[in-house]
């Protein structure tokens, strides 16, 4: 009887252990890669499309315009041995070419971007990024080294998003200020590969999708605003967007659609 009782307890323990293991088993996490974004308003249609290499790193980015095909261009990225982007080459459908290079700081943030016209490497513009505790600055210079303007971005308290942005001209005079509010949805631009592209382009990408964007001008020009709404799929990724832009008495609406590769 004693042996039989021990056997019963052993069988129960095995059953409980097996049940726990089954409960702990989870479906493998999905990886979403942006494949294509398309937008349209009352008069135009445009979008962005991406291709990837064997390591799922973005290989090319194509901006296309249905209403203005000559504005279409493709960017091809070059990477170092660690996978970081060090150079990009662009080609427009009309044959215009050029390229740009990136430099990074010790924290891995973009520190400088140099752009060149044509394969001959004629200097065009360069951009310097300076990071501080609660903000960062993006200053642009022409090929001769003259300041063209700068943007100063201020983080939210949790540093997950950009709270507002101040734009200055070449004389360091404030020309406009943009303030943002956010939804609880993930930002499309924080999905790969846009997360990498945006960080190299502007220095930072907000984690949440924008709810409102309001722009004011110190010179008294008419302020403008945009409101955004979204729909998401079962995994919470944004699949459609709608923005309504208002300036004075005029309004315009832009609709967007996002396509993903799911791995």
Residue-range domain boundaries for the chain? 31-262
For the segment 65-85, what is each residue's pLDDT rounded down to a tens digit?
A: 999 999 999 999 999 999 999
Phi, psi of 24 (to 5 degrees): -80, -20
**Side-chain-side CA neighbours of residue 76 (13 Å):** 5
Structure tokens at 261: 């590769």
Using the structure block, give the residue that is written with the tokens 């308290």.
157
Q: E-assigned strands of 132-249?
A: 135-142, 147-155, 162-169, 174-186, 208-216, 224-232, 238-247
Cβ contacts of residue 106 below 8 Å, gap of 6+? none
Q: Rg of the chain over CA atoms, in angstroms?
A: 24
**pLDDT at 4 (0 to 100):** 40
Structure tokens at 142: 């022409």
Give me the sign of the Cα torsion angle 7, 9, 10, 11.
positive
With the CA atoms of 209, 212, 216 and 222 taken in that order, what torsion angle do they form, in degrees rounded to the nearest 10? 130
**pLDDT at 30 (0 to 100):** 87
Identify the architecture of domain 31-262 in CATH.
Beta Barrel (2.40)
Q: What's the CA gap between 66 and 210, in Å, rounded?
A: 26
Query: How crowded is residue 4: how many other Cβ atoms within 10 Å of its Cβ?
Result: 7
Structure tokens at 117: 């016209």
Note the pTM of the prediction, 2 decimals: 0.87
Residues of the chain scoring pLDDT < 50:
1-22
Provide the 3-class DSSP secondary structure of residue 246.
strand
| C-alpha closest to that of 181 among 226, 141, 146 | 226
Label residue 13 exposed, middle or buried (CB < 10 Å: 0-12, 13-18, 19+). exposed
**pLDDT at 28 (0 to 100):** 64
**pLDDT at 119 (0 to 100):** 77
**pLDDT at 12 (0 to 100):** 43
For the segment 249-263, what is each residue's pLDDT rounded down to a tens digit?
A: 999 999 999 999 998
Cβ contacts of residue 95 below 8 Å, gap of 6+? none
For the segment 174-204, what is each residue's pLDDT rounded down to a tens digit?
A: 999 999 999 999 999 999 999 999 999 999 9
| C-alpha closest to that of 119 among 94, 143, 91, 141 | 91
């Amino acid at each position: 009887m004693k042996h039989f009782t021990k056997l019963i307890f052993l069988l129960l323990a095995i059953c409980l252990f097996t049940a726990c293991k089954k409960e702990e088993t989870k479906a493998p996490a999905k990886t979403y890669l942006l494949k294509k974004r398309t937008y349209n308003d009352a008069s135009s249609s445009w979008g962005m499309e991406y291709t990837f290499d064997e390591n799922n790193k973005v290989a090319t980015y194509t901006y296309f315009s249905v209403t203005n095909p000559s504005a279409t261009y493709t960017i091809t990225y070059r990477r170092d041995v660690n996978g970081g982007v060090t150079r990009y080459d662009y080609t427009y459908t009309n044959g215009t070419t050029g390229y740009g290079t990136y430099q990074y700081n010790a924290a891995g943030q973009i520190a400088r971007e140099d752009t060149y016209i044509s394969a001959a490497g004629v200097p065009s513009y360069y951009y310097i990024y300076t990071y501080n505790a609660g903000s960062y600055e993006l200053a642009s210079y022409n090929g001769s080294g003259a300041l063209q303007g700068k943007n100063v971005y201020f983080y939210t308290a949790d540093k997950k998003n950009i709270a507002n942005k101040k734009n200055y001209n070449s004389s360091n005079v404030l020309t406009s200020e943009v303030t943002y509010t956010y939804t609880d949805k993930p930002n499309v631009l924080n999905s790969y590969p846009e997360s990498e592209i945006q960080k190299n382009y502007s220095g930072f990408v907000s984690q949440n999708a924008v709810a409102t964007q309001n722009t004011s001008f110190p010179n008294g020009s008419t302020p403008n605003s945009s409101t955004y709404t979204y729909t998401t799929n079962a995994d919470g990724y944004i699949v459609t967007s709608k923005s309504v832009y208002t300036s004075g008495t005029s309004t315009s609406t832009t609709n967007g659609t996002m396509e993903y590769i799911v791995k």
